Structure 1
Amino acid sequence: MDEPPTPPTQAPTPRPAFVSRALDGVPEPDFADVQLVALRGATGISAEDWVRAIFDPRSLPVWVRALFGLRAVLVPFIGLNQSRERAASPFEVRDVVDGEALVPHDESHLLFRLGVAVDDDAGLLRATTVVVHHNWRGRLYFVPVGVLHGPVLRSMMIRAVNRSR
């Protein structure tokens, strides 16, 4: 008795994988965002150097500078200690593992993590942001910040890429 022919096997379709150290230890973030920007030939730059380039004052469009100025005026009204925030820069890289620079910052009102990774082969720069609100001040502070975060970060990334080419 002959067996019926076995249909040819197809290779499994690869699924996109998403891994960022910004998510480590944060099972349920209150806010999470991923921004991807094409490198447009700006390759060979480390993730740590990309963090510096993104947060370089030259990467801040005028409208973003204005928003940061407004933020500085408003945060004291919800009881946030602006001078302490400035003393400990929220954008210092703690370490780089597997090509991703991790920028953690924990304040009394919220936990902020940023993972910046670069894939020269794919030509992409990725920034993953995770936020956890610790209290009502964090939630209130993040109402406008959450709305503006994506466009602000993306514009800073694009300017950093354009300056790096």
Structure 2
Amino acid sequence: MTVQEITPAADTWALLPGAQFADAFRLMLAPDGTVVDAPAAAQRMMGTSPAWVRRLMALRNAIVAPLGLKAPRPPAGSESPRAGHIGIFPILSSGPDRVVLGMADKHLDFRAVIDVRQETGNCQVTATTVVRTHNWLGRAYLTLIMPFHRQVVRTMLSQVVSP
């Protein structure tokens, strides 16, 4: 199973009015009867991170702290989820077909959206990221993280395959 970059859905921009950036990645689960709903897919994807992603986030947090940017932290005992969060991200809305996570900071706001759709015997999971920058710091930050973002999303989305 491979994660493919796709064009974000037409309704993506409505998730964060004024957004300047969006991307989307899709994973097709094997046609073995595997079915997940959006909350389960989001938990598998964002509930835990590989060690290299955690180290990258720790580096990010150390770099941006002097700039006054938020450093999202995992819940105490990373195996125990916090109510209203998946991993380090607050849940903004949740239903069987879509989970929207997101945060707002002085440099940018973002939404991470996990959509699940059953299609011709396959379960399709799509991760969409939408970003609205507020200032030069947000634009610079987005530019700097973009090469890492794509690989992180691909890696995290691939975690949906194994519960």
| Alignment correspondent of 1:86 | 73
Deviations 1:32-70 (A, max 9, x none): 11010122247332101211111122xx23322221121
User: Taking every aligned residue pair, what percent have the same amino acid on both sides?
Assistant: 28
- TM-score (normalizing by structure 1): 0.72
Q: State the alpha-carbon separation in 2 of the partners of residues 131 and 42 from structure 1.
A: 34
Deviations 1:109-163 (A, max 9, x none): 11101211112334311011100111122122222222211110111110231x2
Q: Which has the larger radius of gyration?
A: 1
Does the 8 A contact of 1:79 with 1:137 survive in 2? no
Amino acid at match of 2:73: R
Q: State the alpha-carbon separation in 2 of the partners of residues 25 and 93 from structure 1.
A: 14
Cα RMSD (Å) of the superposition? 2.8
Question: Which structure has the highest helix share of the two?
Answer: 1
Classify 1:104/1:49 alpha carbon distance in 2 versus 1 (closer, same or farther; 3 Å): same
Does the 8 A contact of 2:38 with 2:116 survive in 1? yes
| Alignment correspondent of 1:34 | 24
| Alignment correspondent of 1:48 | 39
* Aligned residue pairs, count: 143
Stretch of structure 1 that moved more, 151-160 or 136-145: 136-145
| Local SS of the residue matching 1:160 | coil
Q: Quote how far apart the aligned CAs of 1:19 are.
A: 4.2
Q: Quote how far apart the aligned CAs of 1:93 are.
A: 2.2
| Alignment correspondent of 1:8 | none
Runs of 4+ in 1 over 6 A off after TM superposition: none
| Alignment correspondent of 1:72 | 61
| Alignment correspondent of 1:61 | 50
1:126 corresponds to 2:115: no
Classify 1:42/1:125 alpha carbon distance in 2 versus 1 (closer, same or farther; 3 Å): farther
Q: State the alpha-carbon separation in 2 of the partners of residues 81 and 146 from structure 1.
A: 18
For 1:103, which of 101, 126, 140 is the aligned residue?
101
Does the 8 A contact of 1:114 with 1:128 survive in 2? yes
Deviations 1:5-53 (A, max 9, x none): xxxxxxxxxxx99344x42154552221101012224733210121111
Classify 1:80/1:155 alpha carbon distance in 2 versus 1 (closer, same or farther; 3 Å): same
Question: Which structure has the highest strand share of the two?
Answer: 2
Structure 1: runs of 5 or more not aligned: 1-15
